[in-house]
Structure 1
Amino acid sequence: MFSLLRENIRIAFDAIKSQLLRTILTVLIIAIGITALVGILSAVSALENTISSDFSSMGANTFNIQRYEFNTQRRNDEKQKINPVISYRNVKAFEDDFNFPYTKTSISFVGTYGAEVKYENEKTDPEVQVLGVNENYITNSGLEIELGRDLNYFDVQNSNSVCVIGSDLRKALLKDVNPLNKTISVRGAKFKVIGVLKEKGSTFGNNQDLRVFMPLQKARTIFTNPNINYSLSVKSDKKDMMEGALDEAILLFRNIRGLNPVEDNNFGIERSDDLINRIGSITGVLETVAWIISIITIFGSTIALLNMMFVSVTERTREIGVRKALGAKRSTIAMQFFIETLIIGQLGGILGIILGISVGAGISAIANFQFVTPWLAMISAVIITFIVAVLSGSLPAIKASKLDPVESLRYE
Structure 2
Amino acid sequence: MRILDRLLALLEGVVIAVDAIRANKVRAGLTILGIAVGVFVVTIMSAAVHGINSGVSKAIAAAGPTTFFVTKWPGELVSCNGSADSCPWRRFPPLTIDQARGIEGLSSVKLVVSQIGSSTPVKYADRDLPSVGLNAYTPGWLEVEGGALVDGRDFTAAENDAAAPVVLINGKLRERLFGDGGAIGKEIRLGGQQFTVIGVFEPIATAFDSGEKGRLYMPFETAKRRLDVGVNWMQMTVKPRDGVTRDVAMDEVLGLLRTERRLRPGDANNFHISTPEKILEMYNKVVGAFFLVMIVLSAVGLIVGGVGVVAIMMISVTERTREIGVRKALGATKAIILWQFLVEAATLTGIGAVIGLVLGTGIAAVMRNMTPIEAAVPPTAVVAALVASAFTGIAFGMLPAIRAARLDPVDALRYE
Is TM > 0.5 for Structure 1 vs Structure 2?
yes
Q: What secondary structure does 2:151 align onto?
A: strand
| Structure-1 residue corresponding to 2:139 | 135
TM-score for both structures, normalised by structure 2 = 0.79
The 2-side partners of 1:239 and 1:351 are apart by 53
Structure 1: gaps of 5 or more residues: none
Q: Which amino acid aligns with 2:94?
A: V
Q: Which amino acid aligns with 1:408?
A: A
Cα deviations by residue, 1:222-273 (Å, 9 ceiling, x for unpaired):
1347865533221236586111111111211222222222222222323222
| Structure-2 residue corresponding to 1:274 | 278
Cα deviations by residue, 1:157-179 (Å, 9 ceiling, x for unpaired):
45544332222221122333332
Displacement of 1:382 after TM fit? 0.5
2:89 corresponds to 1:84? no
Displacement of 1:380 after TM fit? 0.7
| Structure-1 residue corresponding to 2:237 | 233
2:345 corresponds to 1:380? no
The 2-side partners of 1:70 and 1:14 are apart by 58
Q: Which amino acid aligns with 1:167?
A: G
Cα deviations by residue, 1:317-371 (Å, 9 ceiling, x for unpaired):
123345566x574477556534422321212222343565678789999997553
What are the within-5 Å matches in structure 2 for residues 384-395 of structure 1?
384-393=388-397
The 2-side partners of 1:23 and 1:291 are apart by 24
Tell me, yes or no, if the aligned pair for 1:34 and 1:381 is still in contact at 8 Å.
Answer: yes
The 1-side partners of 2:156 and 2:299 are apart by 56
Tell me, yes or no, if the aligned pair for 1:59 and 1:141 is still in contact at 8 Å.
Answer: no
Q: Which amino acid aligns with 1:114?
A: T
2:35 corresponds to 1:30? yes
The 1-side partners of 2:16 and 2:79 are apart by 63
RMSD of the alignment, in Å? Answer: 3.9
| Structure-2 residue corresponding to 1:99 | 107
TM-score for both structures, normalised by structure 1 = 0.80
Of 51-60 and 13-22, the range deviating more from structure 2: 51-60
2:197 corresponds to 1:193? yes
Distance 1:215 1:73, change over 3 A: farther
Q: Which amino acid aligns with 1:66?
A: T
Displacement of 1:209 after TM fit? 7.0
**Identity value in percent:** 26
The 2-side partners of 1:174 and 1:153 are apart by 28
Distance 1:394 1:188, change over 3 A: closer
Alignment: residue pair count? 406
What are the within-5 Å matches in structure 2 for residues 240-319 of structure 1?
241-292=245-296, 294-295=298-299, 298=302, 301-302=305-306, 304-319=308-323
Displacement of 1:29 after TM fit? 3.5
Q: What secondary structure does 1:235 align onto?
A: strand
Distance 1:29 1:183, change over 3 A: closer
Tell me, yes or no, if the aligned pair for 1:122 and 1:173 is still in contact at 8 Å.
Answer: no
| Structure-2 residue corresponding to 1:113 | 119
Tell me, yes or no, if the aligned pair for 2:31 and 2:306 is still in contact at 8 Å.
Answer: no
Q: What secondary structure does 1:277 align onto?
A: helix
Tell me, yes or no, if the aligned pair for 1:38 and 1:377 is still in contact at 8 Å.
Answer: yes
Distance 1:192 1:270, change over 3 A: same
Tell me, yes or no, if the aligned pair for 2:170 and 2:201 is still in contact at 8 Å.
Answer: yes
Tell me, yes or no, if the aligned pair for 1:59 and 1:142 is still in contact at 8 Å.
Answer: no
Cα deviations by residue, 1:13-38 (Å, 9 ceiling, x for unpaired):
22332222322233234334434543
The 2-side partners of 1:383 and 1:152 are apart by 57
Q: What secondary structure does 2:375 align onto?
A: coil
Q: What secondary structure does 1:150 align onto?
A: coil
Structure 2: gaps of 5 or more residues: none
Q: What secondary structure does 1:116 align onto?
A: strand
| Structure-2 residue corresponding to 1:349 | 353
The 1-side partners of 2:378 and 2:336 are apart by 38
Q: What secondary structure does 2:380 align onto?
A: helix
The 2-side partners of 1:316 and 1:140 are apart by 69
Of 263-272 and 226-235, the range deviating more from structure 2: 226-235
Tell me, yes or no, if the aligned pair for 2:40 and 2:359 is still in contact at 8 Å.
Answer: yes
Q: What secondary structure does 1:126 align onto?
A: strand
| Structure-1 residue corresponding to 2:71 | 66
Distance 1:99 1:166, change over 3 A: farther
Match 1:410 to one of 394, 409, 414: 414
